[in-house]
Structure 1
């Protein structure tokens, strides 16, 4: 049995290109996403910045760190990669070559504890459809 990990980059939040001043258009699905809400985005971006420090030390991108972390969870865990451009796909694929030590993994989990992620992945009404 295997697990497909969906939303690993949290709808682009872990792309490393977001800023708290980025405005989402009304036609962008993320504009309704709780993690991108005004009251949550700054908290979440502080977690992204903590990952950026680790990524820079490993000479990798934030996206590669996130994907490599998921890949470290076992051969039966397969991250689904969403890419709008070929270069984004190549960056994501680079995570396969990134070796994270047990200390790296522990550090990632310490700087981005799941309980500090602000906002659900899905808006509450939509979430009810799935669970």
Structure 2
């Protein structure tokens, strides 16, 4: 059974494609290979493509717009707004005027007349969430947006937002070693009939098994300064990856496939959006859909991953301050 976007939205693929990495957040990329990856994903049955207006300062939306414009009727386009990039880092920008201007700019870059799923990327503490969601609801009424989503939001704020307009999807980090969503947020999402879109399902690349203690991240790579990917935290996390790698070897699967297959067991309303800017990685990820994990496999995975999850915070202090608690 194909998942749907909320209770009455379009159906889409079991895995989506996160596109953030196509414009430099993890180092230099090849835009031609990134575009080829998008098209191969589409031809392989992927229909959900996720971007944001602050990814590459709009370059990510432009890449997706150029690539998918001839195939618009086959794609569910999701983008995010509500933050602006400054010299100090990202800052929330959730006023109605800012959201309206951002939507018009995203429509131009994406080369479309409507956005299927439009997220408020972060809650602006200076603007009541009711005002921000009210502005997004106006965009729905105008036909410029199909469905509204929120990202990194608390259960309480989600309920407040949903009282203004149905929230079809919530995007948050969810993976084998980042399971905070299971406490309050996922039960609330399900009570409202929304869908959970799981970003960073591969731990920003660590759960692929390709990062080692000797890895040096490029200048500009988010992971170069993130606590979880450095020092003693990295060493502890690589031990978890090694355990998952051993479990995967017994099933002739790479660790990324184990991590994604595990997430797919969480429910048909949980949609992982692993990011990839290269076709070989995309193919590895898509193979996870057909990987069956037995009850014994799941028990072994639970035993291999500590209840506390990954070592180290997933963001630095500035990034954590942007998350609605």
Tell me the TM-score normalized by structure 2: 0.39
1:90 aligns with 2:319: no
Which of the numbers 223, 227, 233 marks the counterpart of 1:30? 223
Tell me: higher relative CO, structure 1 or 2? Use CA pairs within 8 A at least 6 residues apart.
Answer: 1
For 1:49 and 1:81, the matched residues in 2 are separated by 20
Q: What is the Cα deviation at residue 71 of structure 1?
A: 0.2
The range that moved more, 111-120 or 31-40, is 111-120
Q: Any runs of at least 4 consecutive aligned residues in structure 1 with deviations exceeding 6 A, and if so which?
A: none
- Structure number with the higher strand fraction is 2
Residue matched to 1:44? 237
1:79 aligns with one of 272, 281, 284:
272
Find the partner of 1:16 among 191, 209, 222.
209
Q: CA RMSD in A?
A: 1.1
Normalising by structure 1, we get a TM-score of: 0.95
Kindly provide the CA deviation profile for residues 17-68 of structure 1, in whole angstroms up to 9, marking residues without a partner as x.
1110111123111111111111211110000000011000011010000000
Do the aligned partners of 1:15 and 1:63 also contact (CA within 8 Å) in 2? yes
- Cα distance in 1 for partners of 2:274, 2:215 equals 23
Note the C-alpha offset of 1:116: 4.7
Structure 1 position 61 matched with structure 2 position 254: yes
| Structure 2: runs of 5 or more not aligned | 1-193
Give the Cα separation in 2 of the matches to 1:50 and 1:38.
19
SS at match of 1:130: coil
